[in-house]
Amino acid sequence: MTTSTAEVVICGAGIAGIAAAYHLAVKQGVRNVVLVDERPPMSLTSDKSTEAYRNWWPGPDDAMVRFMNRSIDLLEELDTESGHRLLLNRRGYLYATGNPAHVPRLVEAAKSAAAMGAGELRVHAGAAHDPAYVPASAEHWQGQPDGADLFLDPALIRRHFPYLTGETIAALHARRCGWFSGQQFGMVMLEQARAQGVRFVSGRVETVDCAGGRVNAVRIAANGATETIATPTFVNAAGPLVGEVGKLLGLDLPIFSELHLKLALEDRLGVIPRDAPLVIWEDDQRLPWTDEERETLAESEETRYLLDTFPAGIHFRPEGGHGAETVLMLWAYHLEPLTPRFPVPLDPDFPEIVLRGMSTLAPGLAAYLEKLPKSYVDGGYYTKTQENRPLIGPLPIAGAHVFAALSGYGLMAACAGGELLAAHITGGDLPQYAPAFLLSRYDDPIYRQQLADWGSTGQL
C-alpha cells in the first residue's frame, strides 16, 4: 500500500472529469489534483458521442440556455487558442416536421428559446419582406449567425434542403449549434491540465473515507496494489457509473440511465450533402415495409413491435472532412431505464431500423435498403435526472462534489460545467444558473411540484 496527498481527487476521466481537472488546475491554479479512472481517458462514454453542441434548449426557464451559451463561449475560446484544433463548426441543428399539428409547437418553441437568450428569430414564410437566409459555413463558426431561421414555406425548405422529404412543411434551423472533435477537445484540456501538475492514476476508486461527515481520504485499487490519497475534496464525475460511486458516499443519487446507439454508415451515393447540418425529424412514424414484410413481421411476437409507431427524434449528421462519406445516424426508440453494463449491448436490428426510419426523413436513403452499405454501430449511456438537467456542485458530505448526469450533452456542457464546479470548490463567484443544477434543488417542495408540470427539458 502506498500513501499520498491531493487537494482534489476526481473520480472519472471522461469529459466531465477532464474538464473539472482543467478548470481547477489551469484556470483556478489549484495544485495537486488527481484524476482517477480504471480505463484510459475519454474511453467509456465520452468517445461514443455525436460530438454536437447547441444553445437551443426548451424551458421552462433560461437556465440551460444561459449555461450552454457560456459553455459555447468557452468552446470557441479554446478552439481559437488551439489553432482550430477542435474543428468547431456552426452548421446548426435543423428541426423538420411534416405534421401540421406540430407546426404551432415548433413556432412556440422557437419564440420561447429566442426570448430566453438563444438569439434572434428570423421567420421565412415566402413573403417579399422576409429577412435574408444565410447558409451555414461547413467548417468554421466565426462570423456565422446565431439565433434561428424558421421556415414556414415548403418551397423554401426544398430550395435550401432538397434532400429532405417533400412532406416537410416547416423547419427550424437553430444556428448557434454544430459539432466538433470531442477527442481533440478532451486531449487539449488534459494536456494543459497535466502541464499544471494534474496526475492521472489508472485505478478504481474502492472507498471514500467520510468519517466525521466529511471527506478525508480515497482508496484506489490498481494492478493488485492499493493507494490511499489523503484529500479534503472528492469529485464524483463517474459518468454512467455516478450512481455506483455515489453509494461509496452513502448517497442514492436521483439518476437513471438509457442506452443510446449510433450508426455510422458510408453514404457512397452522396444522398446527404457533406455540408448538411444536424437534421432531426420531429414526427413519430411507422417504418416503411411491404405488405408481405408486414405479414411476416406480424407472425412473431419478437418482431411485431417493428409494426408499431416509433418515436420522433431520429437524426443524422455528416462526419469527416474532405473526401469522407460517413453519415452518423441516431434514433433512441428504446428509452426504458436500465443498469449500465459494459461492453455496451448492441441491437442487431439497429442498422436496418434506423435506415428505414431515416428514409422517411431523407427518401434518397431508401436506395440502401436492398443492400445495407458498410456500417458500424456503437453506443453509450445517457445518465440523467428526471428533468434532464445536470448535477453540479456540493453533496451533503463536506468536501464531496458531483459533476454528472450530463445525459447526451456532456461534451457541449463540459466547459461551463467544469468552470461551475471549480467555482463551487474554490469559493468563486457563482453564475445565475448555478442553483438550477444543485442536488439540493430536490429538497425544495416547490421545485418538486414544478417538475410535474415541466416534464423533460432534454429533447433535441
Non-local (6+) Cβ contacts of 170 within 8 A are 96, 97, 102, 103, 106, 107, 150, 151, 152, 157
Mean pLDDT of 227-240: 98
Distance between CA atoms of 452 and 425, rounded to whole angstroms? 31
Cα angle: 52, vertex 105, 389; to 5 degrees: 45
- What confidence score (pLDDT) does residue 246 get? 98
Q: Given this model, what pLDDT does residue 373 score?
A: 86
Q: Of 37, 68, 40, 63, which Cα lies nearest the Cα of 53? A: 68
Q: What's the average model confidence in pLDDT over 266-287?
A: 97
Mean pLDDT computed over 328-355: 94
pLDDT above 70 for 408: yes
Residue 293: CB partners within 8 Å, gap ≥ 6? none
Q: Dump pLDDT digits (tens) for 277-312.
A: 999 999 999 999 999 999 999 999 999 999 999 999
Can you give the pLDDT at residue 403? 98
**Per-residue pLDDT at 372:** 86
pLDDT bucket at 374, cuts 50 / 70 / 90: confident
Query: What pLDDT, in 10s, does the model give residues 82-117?
Result: 999 999 999 999 999 999 999 999 999 999 999 999
Query: Is the model's pLDDT at 455 over the cut of 80?
Result: no
Query: What mean pLDDT do residues 407-412 have?
Result: 96
For position 458, what pLDDT does the model report?
Answer: 56
Let me know: does 1 contact 402? Beta carbons within 8 Å.
Answer: no
Contact between 8 and 30 (Cβ < 8 Å): yes
Domains and CATH numbers, the chain: 2-51+182-255+386-454 (3.50.50.60), 256-384 (no CATH)
Residue 457 above 70 pLDDT? no
Q: What share of the chain has pLDDT > 70, as a percent?
A: 99
Q: What percent of the chain has pLDDT over 90?
A: 93
List Cβ<8 Å contacts ≥24 apart for 241-245. Answer: 241/12, 241/44, 241/340, 242/12, 242/383, 242/391, 242/402, 242/404, 242/405, 243/383, 245/11, 245/12, 245/205
**Would you say 371 and 415 are in contact if contact means Cβ atoms under 8 Å apart?**
no
CA distances from 18 to 29, 170, 394 (A): 15, 40, 18
Q: Can you tell me the mean pLDDT for 384-403?
A: 97
**Statement: residue 219 has pLDDT above 80:** yes
Can you tell me the distance from the alpha carbon of 301 to that of 144, in angstroms, rounded to the nearest whole number? 50
Least reliable range by pLDDT among 47-61, 245-259, 271-285: 47-61
Q: Which of 165-174, 368-377, 405-414 has the lowest mean pLDDT?
A: 368-377
pLDDT of amino acid 460: 44
Q: In this predicted structure, what is the pLDDT of residue 29?
A: 98
**Considering only CA atoms, which of 313, 409, 459 is closest in space to residue 67?**
409
- From the list 241, 289, 185, the residue with the least C-alpha distance to 406 is 241
Instruction: Convert the pLDDT of each residue in 147-190 to its tens digit.
Output: 999 999 999 999 999 999 999 999 999 999 999 999 999 999 99
Beta bridge partners of 318: 327
322 CB neighbour count, 10 Å cutoff:
7
Q: Are strands 33-37 and 199-202 parallel, antiparallel or unpaired?
A: parallel
- Give residue 270's pLDDT band: very low, low, confident or very high (50, 70, 90): very high
- What pTM was computed for the model? 0.96
272 and 327 Cβ atoms separated by less than 8 Å? yes
Sign of CA dihedral 251, 255, 259, 263: negative
